Amino acid sequence: MNPLNRAPHFEAPNSHMSRSHCSSAVTKVPKAAILAIMMIIASPLSGCSGLGGSAPNAEVNADQTEINVGETVNFDARESSTPNPTIIDEYQWNFGDGNEKTTKQGVASHTFLSSGYHDVRVTVLNDAGETDKASVTIFVNSAPTVVLEMPGYIRAGDTATLDASNSYDPEGASMEFIWDFNVMSDSNNDGDPSNDADSVAPIAELTIENSGNRSGSITVVDDKGATSTTYWSLMVTSRTFNVVWEEQILDYEWSGYLEQGQSFTIEHEPGTGARVMQVNATLTLARDLIPIMWPEDNFTLSIDMQSGWSSFSSTQQDNVTQNSTATIERGEMNSYPNSGYTVTSDSKSVLEEALLNEAGERFGQGTWEWTITADQCDPDLPVDDVDPDQGNDWQLTVRVVVFVLRLSEVSS
């Protein structure tokens, strides 16, 4: 008999069983079974530390793969797996920008502060010491760079040129410009002074009427929504003016014919750009002959000023050889102004208005109305039942003394 076809024979030492008894217990084992047992013994045990077939399988994904500098990406490696009976022990993260992190869970978040492409890699480690790696690429878009050129100061009323046209985007993308001319003011009235768009051009023109410090901002936005904001400050200085009051004499004349009951009104504004000091007005009846046959005609002269003063005068004749006259006079209407000094103001017009409308010095401002009325031109002694003198010629002369305001800007 071939020995390979014989089942092994074991005999326990010191056994009380007889050989014949033992021989009756011998069993034949098939050749295929013996080969299977030998292969199992020769092969490594699966699931044991350091043994093959237990390596994990790493997987990773990101909630976004394109961001702007300063934004955060959430990573998820929970789809990674490892064969039983091993378990994943930890996740080792390398974010590709010099930062690393180790977590026990398969999630991690990272804020990218540098632009460019970053290969984010996760290494999955199980308790058998086996590892696997997976990666995902993140593109971090850099914000535009603001280049601003502008003056350090201007005078009130001047225009400043704010130039951001040399700003650029590192990726070469197109850009938008948003100017806020006053960060302390809400120009669009939405309750938020930080979102105003007072201009959207690369170069803006800004005129400021009032002195003081003005603060604003320029925001540049690229095609992916990345923004860069630069805050600026502009000093606005007052202007300096030399103040001179120049005395002038204004003369007005009128002559004309009026019949009984007729009136004529003259309007003028001698206080325009000036301070009124005094006025002298005389209305004279023009005649060629001394009234012998007919009595002297009477008339009235009145003045009405918008500043709240009016006066009235009627003819007086004490000597028949003189023409009748009516006179209105007033002096010291305002105080004499100081002259030849300098003063600061945001604008010439503002200073002029302040000086001309100084409290207590406004007398004579506005329109003056002179009214001449022919009164008692008749009845005269009729000739053939006809009044030979139904009217007369009148002559009005007015002299007004004013101080005209002269402002000249002093170069700074």
Share of the chain above pLDDT 90, in %: 67
pLDDT greater at residue 322 or residue 167:
167
Pick from 271, 352, 362: nearest CA to 308: 362
pLDDT greater at residue 393 or residue 211:
211
pLDDT value of position 272:
94
Q: pTM, whole model, 2 decimals?
A: 0.64
pLDDT value of position 37:
42
pLDDT value of position 97:
96
pLDDT greater at residue 15 or residue 247:
247
d(C-alpha 272, C-alpha 365), whole Å = 7
pLDDT value of position 31:
54
d(C-alpha 116, C-alpha 392), whole Å = 101
Q: How confident is the model at residue 8 (pLDDT cuts 50, 70, 90)?
A: very low
pLDDT greater at residue 8 or residue 248:
248
pLDDT value of position 6:
39
One DSSP character per residue, 263-295 reads EEEEEE-TTTTEEEEEEEEEEEEE-SS--SSSP
pLDDT in tens, 207-246: 999 999 999 999 999 999 999 999 999 999 999 999 999 9
Report which residue type is found at 292.
I
Work out the average pLDDT over 157-162.
97
pLDDT in tens, 355-373: 999 999 999 999 999 999 8
Q: Is the pLDDT of residue 293 over 70?
A: no
Q: Is the pLDDT of residue 43 over 90?
A: no
Least confident of 275-284, 388-397, 399-408: 388-397
pLDDT greater at residue 371 or residue 299:
371
Phi, psi for 44 (deg, rounded to 5): -70, 155
Average pLDDT, the chain: 84
Domains along the chain?
61-141 (2.60.40.10), 153-237 (2.60.40.10), 242-410 (2.60.120.380)
Q: Is the pLDDT of residue 2 over 50?
A: no
Q: How confident is the model at residue 284 (pLDDT cuts 50, 70, 90)?
A: confident
pLDDT value of position 322:
56
Q: Is the pLDDT of residue 348 over 50?
A: yes
pLDDT value of position 383:
52
Q: How confident is the model at residue 178 (pLDDT cuts 50, 70, 90)?
A: very high
Least confident of 132-146, 186-200, 237-251, 283-297: 283-297
Q: In this structure, are residues 282 and 399 in contact, taking their beta carbons and an 8 Å threshold?
A: no
pLDDT value of position 240:
96
pLDDT value of position 391:
63
Q: Is the pLDDT of residue 28 over 60?
A: no
Residues 6+ apart with CB under 8 A from 300: 312, 313, 314, 315, 326, 372, 373, 375
pLDDT greater at residue 113 or residue 38:
113
Least confident of 29-43, 236-250, 396-410: 29-43
pLDDT value of position 378:
57
Least confident of 115-129, 249-263, 291-305: 291-305
pLDDT value of position 1:
39
Helix (H) or strand (E) holding 355: helix 348-356
pLDDT value of position 389:
58
Q: List, in sequence order, every residue forming a beta bridge with 316; answer none if it has no partner.
A: 325
